[in-house]
Chain A
């Protein structure tokens, strides 16, 4: 029996290199399995072998998509491999994008079918689910064991050329493909049956779900910025020292509203970041690198804007659920509308 050879891609954290301090590390390759790859290797068992692991910093990859991919492709070219597995990335945004991008590039470069897995709300899903197989995972690494089992078993089936079923049966994110299948009844009968069920307020299942393009229409532009009141909002976690509202460093459930009245410059003695998903060194040195109060004050003094609003709004956008972010946005908007704010500058890390 052939033992299939796999390459595994993981980030600096799961690669046991370090946390955000190593997020800028360039890719390295190690022979054999590392971190979660050890458990994955057990699942692959006698049928597959992780011959090498690529470890790369999330921030480095995301800020250098093309360069990082090229470097990784060059590194793995010397391995004679049959399959490629990335992640699981759970709800880590940068990691999800890295897993998606490298899988896509490997697919294009080597003509094999890579597999990755992540939480359905990970931004990597929207961008890459049409190109590659992305299996669903739970929101965090708490679900690691099960995620690896699914990832390993699916990868083996795919590489052995077994038939892959529909997304809902297999647990991957729908890729928007249409396949021909034979049914007992014609489309006309099935359609009428669905319509009758709908009329009777019964549950029915469509055979062609429509994609949801959740887009919002643009608000009217500010006519005269020099008289406008502008508010600063951030998902970068800048809060007064002591974090009075105890905003969580990940999976935030709330936002805070903090006065900047009379403050010309966010000083490091007064403001900090509590965001747990990026290297905080630069933000802690100068919080204006996330919430640009100093520059806005200058523009205010020069008359380029009417006024900088007296409060900033902060949350932490680190694996925070999209539904929470929408909720914060609606509440913040309501408050800003009451105060007749004309425009918002929202910074994200």
Chain B
């Protein structure tokens, strides 16, 4: 899906935990997630710290979307 959307001209960042799968399938902008069942969260943290983690992850995602890339990039 990430590839098809990027292909249509909309920059797309793929947040996933098993980065090699994303690389193999061919997403262009890849951001490693936290864990398979909770890519954008961490149940071991308290609510406040978890939200900070998520916000930081999203900031990185925005960096990925605003970066000019030529080749597949893991952010």
Q: A123-B25, A219-B9, A296-B58 are in contact. Are A278 and B4 (CB under 8 A)?
A: no
The complex places the Cα of A228 from the Cα of B66 at a distance, in Å, of 10
Chain A positions within 8 Å of B5 at CB level = 233, 329, 332-333, 336, 344, 346
Tell me the A residues contacting B by CB distance below 8 Å. 20, 23, 59, 62-63, 93-94, 97, 123, 126-127, 214-223, 225, 228, 230, 233, 235-236, 278-283, 285-286, 288-292, 294-296, 298-299, 304-305, 315, 317, 322, 325-330, 332-334, 336-337, 341-349
Q: Are A59 and B37 in touch, CB under 8 angstroms?
A: yes
B2 neighbours in A (Cβ, 8 Å): 329, 344, 346
Give 29 CB contacts A-B under 8 Å: A23-B36, A214-B26, A215-B26, A221-B65, A222-B11, A222-B65, A222-B66, A233-B1, A278-B37, A282-B37, A282-B38, A288-B41, A289-B41, A289-B54, A295-B57, A299-B62, A304-B59, A317-B1, A328-B1, A342-B10, A343-B13, A345-B12, A346-B5, A346-B13, A348-B14, A348-B17, A349-B16, A349-B36, A349-B37
Q: Are B62 and A305 in contact (CB under 8 A)?
A: yes
Is B24 located at the chain interface by the 8 A CB criterion? yes
Q: How many residues of B contact A (CB 8 A)?
A: 52
> Per a CB cutoff under 8 Å, which of B13, B25, B68 touches A345?
B13
Closest to A281 in B: B37
- Minimum CB–CB distance for B14 against chain A, Å: 5
A23–B17 CA distance with the chains assembled, in angstroms: 15
Q: Known A288-B54, A329-B1; judge A63-B66 contact (CB<8 A).
A: no
Interface residues as binary, B28-69 with A (CB distance below 8 Å gives 1, 0 otherwise):
110001011111111100000011001101110110011111
**Interface positions of B (Cβ within 8 A of A):** 1-18, 20-22, 24-26, 28-29, 33, 35-43, 50-51, 54-55, 57-59, 61-62, 65-70, 72
The reply to whether A299 and B55 contact each other, CB–CB distance below 8 Å, is yes
Q: Are A218 and B59 in contact (CB under 8 A)?
A: no
**Nearest residue, chain B, Cβ from A286:** B41
CB of B28, distance to nearest CB on chain A (Å): 5
Would A304 and B62 count as touching, CB distance under 8 A? Answer: yes
Q: A290-B39, A292-B54, A347-B33 are in contact. Are A216 and B11 (CB under 8 A)?
A: no
Determine whether the beta carbon of B59 is less than 8 Å from that of A221: no
Within the assembled complex, what's the spacing in Å between the Cα atoms of A222 and B24?
25
Q: A123-B25, A299-B59, A348-B22 are in contact. Are A221 and B10 (CB under 8 A)?
A: no
